[in-house]
Structure 1
């Protein structure tokens, strides 16, 4: 039986821009149209019914990935936060990755969307819809001038931190087993960042914030609380996952959580091992639906930025996830909400259009 490529999937997080940045920058962009070695490209999107999502601009830390993988394959681990990155060091990386995103649009591979009307039009036209997102605010200056300029360039979603500290907040380290209650929350500059994002209509992504920062945003923001790529701490007790209290707050704000495909945040044992069945993803979805309701859960894959279940390593394999949802007993209306409708709902509430 042919597996379904509809409803279209609009996804809460990917790191394609970073992958292209490391593969040669602008010179690597044309491969997006014909085929790339990673998870996301245009041919795979057509095969998998992938309509687009949040395209993250990410400034990397100087981390030994082999050592990180080895550590996260142990029964317990507590990785230290990487060192902060200065504005001067972050800006060239952010500008280059943003330029790659603009080049993908110029080549006709996607459409950068600034409103939900833009997203719906792109999906209807069969063009990949892209939200310009920043994962970590290292390139934002204390006076927020860079934020205003990036907004004019199309920035519509921002994580104040990746898992390292910025001048705005503290990140949550990768720890298992652990709660996210590690470190301090927003700084004074962070409160001002939250308020300015609210004024502009930039969505705030809480996925990499520790618990103190989460509650500070909840106090100071007037927008729905959103974690684009996080899972249920009750199932996988990882520092990156959301506690029941956090899920209750997200529900109370009429916010949103995108299911993270990263295996360490799916597995009960927190290990970075790819032999994770789709059934484990459905356990998290079931729990998130129970806690948040069917209008506040979606997908936040972390494709091209994390190890994902071995059955779903490319977006061309997404029909397997849709089929598993159907076999699990999710109806057509719920599957459509999980695949894209809930993201459009929360973006309309946040952006206002």
Structure 2
């Protein structure tokens, strides 16, 4: 079984929602969602980025209407409003506390170095990276240092909706990612401080002008933890060939998102069988980023999955598909886990 290190999951939100049942949810599973320890073991899940994310307050179209829109492109959904830090911080801390509780169970290690990731994998623990998706809980650079002390080593300035740091892409198909203004002055300061602290900057969800600002300011490799190729699926969330070339020049990396609406060429948020579509995205990313610049970024517990990749327990189906596609053992292992570890060595310096 080839290990899989994953660029993005939203499991911590499920932990918060589980309340007193949170430990059982992780250790035993409850038959729902995409991720828990038994299925992680079955699927060769070696670890990944555990996202801290704040839901938007109820506003705009409800979930049923949003799903209907995304199942019937074209669509362009309005972005939710910015979430105040005072609302986001308690929720984010609750998610961080749940990740720490997972570590206390002895099954997870929150890692701050590539060496720690390798050690955790070798010793049979899930190697977790604390990641913030949407920087609303980071009210200022002082709070960034607090989060760093708590274990934060990766951050996305936005989750689609605006923050004090920048602007995300709306959920729209077909659409360019060039959808608004670039980073704010606070956002530019965030980039510089993250570089100083060796916190990875995640460009998934960021719009094109914001992407350009990070590319100009950052001295670290450019990374999108869970994104796909715009040339194959022209969603606002996907990366254009120009963006991919800029990332390649920085020795950066893209983790392939498993969300069906970002994979399908027709943009429909509907499941599909087989791996042909995913492999076409991987082929395209490899052609531009090279064999060291492509990895996996599932979006488990945050998106609709393909039929044959229904949860983390099915990850070896994708691994087998890559092998059968002709990638070979070495390249498949790079995409499955080694490229993430190499990227983090280049970013963290350890």
User: Do residues 47 (structure 1) and 45 (structure 2) align?
Assistant: no
Aligned with residue 285 of structure 1, among 270, 282, 285 = 282
Q: Contact 1:15/1:302 (CA < 8 Å) preserved in 2? A: yes
**Structure 1 position 27, deviation (Å):** 3.8
Distance in 2 between residues matched to 1:71 and 1:109, nearest whole Å: 40
1:1-353 equivalences under 5 Å are: 6-24=1-19, 27-36=21-30, 37-63=32-58, 64-142=62-140, 144-353=141-350
Distance in 2 between residues matched to 1:232 and 1:211, nearest whole Å: 14
TM-superposition CA deviations, 1:34-82 (whole Å, max 9, x none): 1232111111111111101000000001352222111101120001110
3-state DSSP of counterpart to 2:303 = coil
Distance in 2 between residues matched to 1:280 and 1:220, nearest whole Å: 34
Q: Which runs of 5+ in 2 are unaligned?
A: none
TM-superposition CA deviations, 1:257-282 (whole Å, max 9, x none): 00000001000011110125311100
User: Residues 331, 194 of structure 1: CA spacing in aligned structure 2 closer, same or farther, 3 A cutoff?
Assistant: same
TM-superposition CA deviations, 1:263-303 (whole Å, max 9, x none): 01000011110125311100000000001101000000000
Q: Which runs of 5+ in 1 are unaligned?
A: 1-5
Distance in 2 between residues matched to 1:8 and 1:345, nearest whole Å: 15
**Structure 1 position 310, deviation (Å):** 1.5
Distance in 1 between residues matched to 2:97 and 2:300, nearest whole Å: 20
Give me the TM-score of the superposition, normalised by structure 1.
0.96
TM-superposition CA deviations, 1:200-232 (whole Å, max 9, x none): 000000001000000000011110000000000
**Structure 1 position 113, deviation (Å):** 0.5
Give me the TM-score of the superposition, normalised by structure 2.
0.97
Distance in 1 between residues matched to 2:84 and 2:67, nearest whole Å: 26
3-state DSSP of counterpart to 1:158 = strand
Number of residue pairs matched? Answer: 346
3-state DSSP of counterpart to 1:54 = strand
Distance in 2 between residues matched to 1:319 and 1:139, nearest whole Å: 35
Aligned-residue CA RMSD (Å)? 1.0
